[in-house]
Amino acid sequence: MTAPPLTAETRREVGSTPAWFTPLLVWRVLVAAGFAVLLTTRRGIAIEGANRVLVLAGVTLALFVAMLAGYQTYRRRHLGRLLGFTVDLLTASVTGFMALNRMSFFNGLDAVGERFNRNIIWLVVIVAGWLISGWSERGGLSRPRIQRIGRYIMAGGAAIMVLAMGLLGAIPGVLANIADLEVVPVLGVAIVAALFARIQIGESAARLFGTTQSQSEGFDGLLFIAPNALGFLAFFAGPLIFSLVISFTEWSGLQPAEFVGLANYRELLGDALFLRSLRNIVIFGLVAVPLTVAPALLLAALLNSKLPGIRVFRAIYFLPSIAGVVGVTLIWKQLFNATVGFLNYSILEVTEFFNGLFGTAVAAPQPLWISAPEVAMISVIILFVWQRIGFDTVLFLAGMQGIDRSLYEAADIDGAGAWTRFRHITVPMLRPTTFFVVATDIILALQTFNEPFILQAPSTPAGPGNSTLTPVIYLYQQAFQQFQIGYGSAVAWALFILIFGITIIYFRRQGEDGFLKA
Amino acid sequence: MEGANPVSKRWTLLLVALAMIVAACGDAGSGDTTAETTAETTGETTGETTATTEGGTTDSTEAMTDGVSLRWMTRPDNPEEAAVYGSISDGLNIEGVTLTYEPGDNEGSSYQDKLLTNLSAGTAPDVFWIPGTDVARFVQEGVILDLREYASATGHNDADFYPGPMGHLTTDPATGQPADKLWGLPRDVSTFAIYVNQDLVAEAGVDNPLDLAASGEWTWDKFKEVSEGIAALGGEIKGYGQSNWWGPNGAWINAAGGNFFSDDRSACALDSAEAAAGLSFLSELYAGGSAVPFGEDPEPGFRAGTVGMFQNGRWATPGIRTVEFNWDVVGLPEGPAGPGNWLFWGAYVVNANTEHPEQAWALVQALTSTEVQAQISELGANVPSRVSQDALDAFLGFTPPANNQAFLDGLSNNPTTEGPLWLGSWPEFDAVQGPAIGDVISGARAVEDFSANICNEAAAAFGG
């Protein structure tokens, strides 16, 4: 894909300037000018309030990078290639998505997806052709006729499939969309940017910009992570920054946002429901995490043996963690039902059994698992622990199997018993695993949403007396039920600060103990 | 696979991908996957629009012949209902309009979230359904269209629908009072009734609630007697159950003559003696132990045959139809001020950003026509919102329950209409009153304390 590594001597072969270099320089100027126009005339940035600040900041940064890329390209430096490629890739991606959106691509995806499912048989035909074509050269024998047949089958299958997908019928619609004056320039920019991005990957670009071997390897690395980086920017970093900006606004999601500074955060400090949700989630974490980690460790110790059928048990314990949380929670909701649920029925039966056995008349407790304020959070903890414990067990198990067996053998020689070995070898050697397990469980616990929400759904997600109100449920209520997305975002960032703070403290404590430094 | 030329493979894949992109771009809005129709206007479903066209009184309908695509979305209560809406979309004939039905998620999932996100992103359908309590917010945010102009041009009559929902759908947000506005048309309505396990009633030997209702003796006292009589069967048997949300709780307040709000819905009215009376009765009922513990979902118990009476709306009927015991429905028992009830509803509204408001209005009319309402009523989840004997007859004909009339009686017993707070915030009010009423019913809070403080606690919802 990229150019072979070059030595310093062969860098920058002046005199062999490729034909695309001048257009590239022009393109660099145009891109920078485009961002400058966006920034100065604010045309196209039809966003009000704090969002506008975010967009303007982004455009300013883009302008700076585009100018730098242009200058470095002009100087034929590797940095110009690197920045230029990045700018072109982002430009092509953003404008490409804009053009597709303008052409209603995303609205039509569902229909195409359904047609794809209906015509999947033609995909099977294409695969069959591919297999036939490949089989023709098996065993070092070349069978051109069979290979041709395979290719014809592939081509025929592909042709029928695209026709069945509605290609012909869609062409007029596409032409009409492309004729839209707003689509043409955006699509044009996307195509040109994609072409220049492609050119800069090539060997001639590497030669022109004097890319060294180490630089070439770095560039290859960037190419590999580029798709993921784009996804990260679009679906994680972008929304993350967006929510941070939104948290400083009053925004319903339907009207322009109004910048309110720190007002949302100030309001949070005096918001009794938010503080209640924090109290709930801290208690939840303090109880649920130890109840998950300690049994998982013991369970892993039990499962870390070579008994016949032990793998079946491992799979059984792991199952809850791969089951869909919604389905599992709905089942638990039925189990928790105070009148017809299996838990209370079991308590009743067991109590009656012992009453019969000992001649006592103990009344069977019948907890209101979901509807009593003092019990509702316990139900959520039970569900969390049940679902999480299997995953933690597998992590501990993996950690245990990585412990050097010679340590146990030495302990055996010294006469150590099973408990001593577990206490003085297994537990200390598992500290990196324990750190990971506890950290992830804390983060998951503090972000709890699904379990209490579904247990109490649909009418009272906060639970009886707000007893199962968590910060994430509260932000959901604020953002999506009360249309206060700015305030909901502030709740999200306050929760982030809490999680981040706890994780840092935990991280440092573990660091003081040494293994993280090691 | 070394057999195939990598270049040809690459081009084949590229061509297929491009073909799919082209298909998607050229296909947006047509949606043959769900429901699309581009037929002549012939059916009665768009009778009013058709009549206007035939009369040649408007230019607006001429524009409809250009061929436009409309997307619409509603919140079905179950997959069966979603399928019926899809077939309705298939069957609608609106001249020159291609329809795409987008099934929204149900109440338990994310209909509201999806709608809000779509509206925020500018990708919401042309016509969509919203709950009655949300109308004010959508109007105030300017995301739904005032349809009065189009309604006037097509001979629409507000009186064809129940006045309660239409009051909210014609309210001027500036005054909070009905005016010359039209924000949409109600999709359907529902009231509460009591689902009765007839087998448990017979086993307990108590008076049958349906007989008591027929003889005019279905009062709170009798209701309590029946509930306690059934619970006396012992074990896990309970006499009564209701879910924990404002509707069932509020029905008892309404029956006592109280209300959540003042008459003009501009202030809290939960501090009244009548509201206290309703809550006291409910609290005593639960304290007596004959009811499913407050806050527990009673529906699994009712369906399992361990709960004698279960208060819920018409939407619960499809689920109850699967039980194997004998059951029927009866109206709510009469309290000091009569039976009391709620009129629940939701409305089809038009996206303020639609490019085809006239066609969207025609779609709203078609979706609320007698024929469509009768078709949906067949599932048993809804009561027609149109005051039409044909629609009501269709509704009454779909049994069980045999006593469908109980739901219609609820409509005629001066129910309180579910609706938004035009001069306040319903979500904020609900967030305060819900836990407070729950505390009173479960005995955690004295009703006197509730009466003395609740309206102060809820003042912020009215801007106080």
Interstrand relation of B185-190 and B342-350 (parallel, antiparallel or unpaired): antiparallel
Residue B166: HSE in the Cβ half-sphere, 13 Å Cα cutoff: 13
Structure tokens at A477: 């209520």
3 state DSSP class of A99: helix
Q: How confident is the model at residue A48 (pLDDT cuts 50, 70, 90)?
A: low
Q: What is the pLDDT of residue B354?
A: 94
Report pLDDT digits (tens) over B73-124. 998 877 777 888 888 888 888 888 888 888 776 555 578 888 888 888 888 9
Q: What is the signed CA dihedral for B130, B132, B138, B140, rounded to 10 degrees?
A: 170
The DSSP code sequence of B259-327 is -SB-TTSSSB-TTSHHHHHHHHHHHHHHHTT-B--TTS--HHHHHTT-EEEEEEEGGGHHHHTT-SS-E
In this structure, are B315 and B454 located in the same domain?
Answer: yes
Residue B42 has pLDDT above 60, yes or no: no
Q: How far apart are CA A438 and CA A510, in angstroms?
A: 11
How confident is the model over A470-474, as a mean pLDDT? 95
B114-133 residues touching A, CB cutoff 8 A: 116-117, 119-120, 123
Q: Tell me if B353 sits within 8 A of A255, measured CB to CB.
A: no
Q: How far apart are CA A186 and CA A96, in angstroms?
A: 7
Residue A513 has pLDDT above 90, yes or no: no
Helix (H) or strand (E) segment spanning residue A28: helix A21-41
Length of chain A measured in residues: 518
**Sign of the Cα pseudo-torsion (A397, A399, A402, A405, in order):** negative
Q: What is the pLDDT of residue B204?
A: 95
| Residue B213 covered by a domain | yes
A84-143 residues touching B, CB cutoff 8 A: 100, 103-112, 114-116, 126, 130-131, 133-138
In this structure, are B134 and B249 located in the same domain?
Answer: no
Report pLDDT digits (tens) over B139-195. 999 999 999 999 999 989 999 999 999 999 999 998 888 899 999 999 989 999 999
Say how many Å lie between the first and final Cα of chain A, rounded: 39
Q: How far is CA A432 from the centre of its chain?
A: 24
Contact status of B33 with chain A (Cβ, < 8 Å) = yes
In this structure, are B396 and B448 located in the same domain?
Answer: no
Contact status of A147 with chain B (Cβ, < 8 Å) = yes
Contact status of A310 with chain B (Cβ, < 8 Å) = no
Residue A23: HSE in the Cβ half-sphere, 13 Å Cα cutoff: 10
Q: How confident is the model at residue A115 (pLDDT cuts 50, 70, 90)?
A: confident
- Decide which of A55 and A212 is more confident: A212
| Nearest chain A residue to B113, by CA | A480
Q: What is the signed CA dihedral for A438, A441, A445, A448, rounded to 10 degrees?
A: 170
- Decide which of A250 and A113 is more confident: A250
Q: What is the pLDDT of residue A391?
A: 93
With vertex at residue B276, the alpha carbon angle to CA B272 and CA B279, rounded to the nearest 5 degrees, is 140
- Decide which of A120 and B289 is more confident: B289
In this structure, are B162 and B257 located in the same domain?
Answer: no
Q: Express as a percent the part of chain A with pLDDT over 70.
A: 90
| Residue B1 covered by a domain | no
Q: How far apart are CA A81 and CA A72, in angstroms?
A: 8
In this structure, are B142 and B249 located in the same domain?
Answer: no
Report pLDDT digits (tens) over B363-419. 999 999 988 888 887 777 788 898 878 778 878 888 889 999 999 999 888 899 998
Residue A169 has pLDDT above 90, yes or no: no
The minimum CA-CA distance between B78 and chain A, rounded to whole Å, is 14
Query: Which candidate from A172, A255, A458 shows the least CB-CB separation from B141?
Result: A255
For testing the chain B interface, which of A453, A480, A483 should be mutated: the one with the most B CBs within 10 Å? Answer: A483
In this structure, are B80 and B155 located in the same domain?
Answer: yes
Q: What is the pLDDT of residue A354?
A: 93
Exposed, middle or buried: residue B27 (CB in 10 Å: 0-12, 13-18, 19+)? Answer: buried
Say how many Å lie between the first and final Cα of chain B, rounded: 73
C-alpha dist (Å) from residue B455 to A141, B95, B442, B459:
89, 52, 20, 6
Q: What is the pLDDT of residue B145?
A: 96
Q: Tell me if B105 sits within 8 A of B409, measured CB to CB.
A: no
Overall pTM > 0.95:
no
Residue B270 has pLDDT above 60, yes or no: yes
Q: What is the mean pLDDT of chain A?
A: 85
Q: How confident is the model at residue A511 (pLDDT cuts 50, 70, 90)?
A: low
Expressed as residue numbers, the domain containing B215 is 192-343+413-462
Q: How confident is the model at residue B464 (pLDDT cuts 50, 70, 90)?
A: low
- A100 chain-B contacts, CB cut-off 8 A: 21, 25
User: How many CB atoms are closer than 10 A to CB A355?
Assistant: 14
List all residues 6 or more positions away from B16 whose beta carbon is below 8 Å from its beta carbon.
A158, A161, A162
- Least confident stretch, B28-42, B199-213, B449-463: B28-42
- Least confident stretch, A279-288, B22-31, B98-107, B280-289: B22-31
Structure tokens at A344: 């209370």
In this structure, are B322 and B378 located in the same domain?
Answer: no
Interstrand relation of B127-131 and B68-74 (parallel, antiparallel or unpaired): parallel
Query: Which candidate from A134, A158, A166 shows the least CB-CB separation from B16?
Result: A158
List all residues 6 or more positions away from B107 whose beta carbon is below 8 Å from its beta carbon.
A458, B75, B77
The minimum CA-CA distance between B257 and chain A, rounded to whole Å, is 25
A448-467 residues touching B, CB cutoff 8 A: 457-460, 462, 464-466
Structure tokens at A68: 């730098």
| Nearest chain B residue to A481, by CA | B427
Contact B292 A459 (CB under 8 A): no
- Decide which of B463 and A464 is more confident: A464
Contact status of A151 with chain B (Cβ, < 8 Å) = yes
Which of B138, B75, B52 is closest to B358 using CA atoms?
B52
Contact status of B14 with chain A (Cβ, < 8 Å) = no
In this structure, are B443 and B371 located in the same domain?
Answer: no
Query: Which candidate from A131, A173, A368 shows the least CB-CB separation from B295?
Result: A368
CATH tag for A266-512 (out of 3.90.226.10, 3.40.50.300, 3.30.420.40, 1.10.3720.10): 1.10.3720.10
Q: How confident is the model at residue A491 (pLDDT cuts 50, 70, 90)?
A: very high
**Amino acid letter at B12?**
T
Q: How far apart are CA B22 and CA A100, in angstroms?
A: 10
Give the phi and the psi of residue A249 in degrees, each rounded to 5: -130, 165
Structure tokens at A2: 């990229």
Q: What's B196's DSSP letter?
A: E
**Amino acid letter at B48?**
E
The minimum CA-CA distance between B36 and chain A, rounded to whole Å, is 11
- Decide which of A180 and A332 is more confident: A332
Contact B295 A253 (CB under 8 A): no
User: How many CB atoms are closer than 10 A to CB A86?
Assistant: 18
Which of A242, A388, A402 is closest to A328 using CA atoms?
A388
Q: How far apart are CA B51 and CA B309, in angstroms?
A: 48
Which of A36-40, A396-400, B26-30 has the highest mean predicted lDDT (pLDDT)? A396-400
B218-247 residues touching A, CB cutoff 8 A: 236, 238, 243-245
3 state DSSP class of A103: coil
In this structure, are B230 and B322 located in the same domain?
Answer: yes
Q: What is the pLDDT of residue B31?
A: 39
Q: What is the pLDDT of residue A516?
A: 54
In this structure, are B276 and B328 located in the same domain?
Answer: yes
- A368 chain-B contacts, CB cut-off 8 A: 293, 295-296
Structure tokens at A59: 């455009």
- Decide which of A90 and A1 is more confident: A90
Q: How far apart are CA A505 and CA A442, in angstroms?
A: 12
| Nearest chain A residue to B27, by CA | A108
- Least confident stretch, A105-119, B30-44, B201-215: B30-44
What value of ipTM does the predicted structure carry? 0.77
Q: How far apart are CA B192 and CA A324, in angstroms?
A: 34
Q: Tell me if B325 sits within 8 A of B197, measured CB to CB.
A: yes
The minimum CA-CA distance between B289 and chain A, rounded to whole Å, is 12
Q: Tell me if B87 sits within 8 A of B58, measured CB to CB.
A: no
Q: How far is CA B93 from the centre of its chain?
A: 25
Helix (H) or strand (E) segment spanning residue B397: helix B389-397
How confident is the model over A147-168, as a mean pLDDT? 82
User: How many CB atoms are closer than 10 A to CB B293?
Assistant: 18
**Amino acid letter at A295?**
P
Contact status of A155 with chain B (Cβ, < 8 Å) = yes
For testing the chain A interface, which of B1, B20, B130, B306 should be mutated: the one with the most A CBs within 10 Å? Answer: B20
For testing the chain A interface, which of B297, B430, B440 should be mutated: the one with the most A CBs within 10 Å? Answer: B297
Q: How far apart are CA A176 and CA B79, in angstroms?
A: 36
In this structure, are B153 and B177 located in the same domain?
Answer: yes
| Nearest chain B residue to A166, by CA | B23
B120-154 as b/e, with b when 16 or more CB fall inside 10 Å? beeebbbbbbbbbbbbbbbbbbebbbbbbebbebb
Report pLDDT digits (tens) over B320-368. 888 999 999 999 999 999 888 999 999 999 999 999 999 999 999 999 9
Report pLDDT digits (tens) over B294-320. 988 899 899 999 999 999 998 888 888
Contact status of A506 with chain B (Cβ, < 8 Å) = no
Residue B463 has pLDDT above 50, yes or no: yes
The minimum CA-CA distance between A419 and chain B, rounded to whole Å, is 45
**Amino acid letter at B93?**
N
3 state DSSP class of B417: strand
Contact A482 B439 (CB under 8 A): no
User: Which residue spans within A233-386 are E strands per DSSP?
Assistant: 249-250, 258-259
Which residues make beta-bridge pairs with B195? B310, B329
CATH number of the domain to which B227 belongs: 3.40.190.10
Q: What is the pLDDT of residue B65?
A: 43
How confident is the model over B279-304, as a mean pLDDT? 92
- A172 chain-B contacts, CB cut-off 8 A: 26
Q: How confident is the model at residue B61 (pLDDT cuts 50, 70, 90)?
A: very low
Structure tokens at A299: 């369970």
The minimum CA-CA distance between A283 and chain B, rounded to whole Å, is 21
Contact B19 A165 (CB under 8 A): yes
Q: What is the pLDDT of residue A512?
A: 63
In this structure, are B29 and B168 located in the same domain?
Answer: yes
Q: How far is CA A498 from the centre of its chain?
A: 20
Q: What is the pLDDT of residue B54?
A: 32
Contact B431 A273 (CB under 8 A): yes
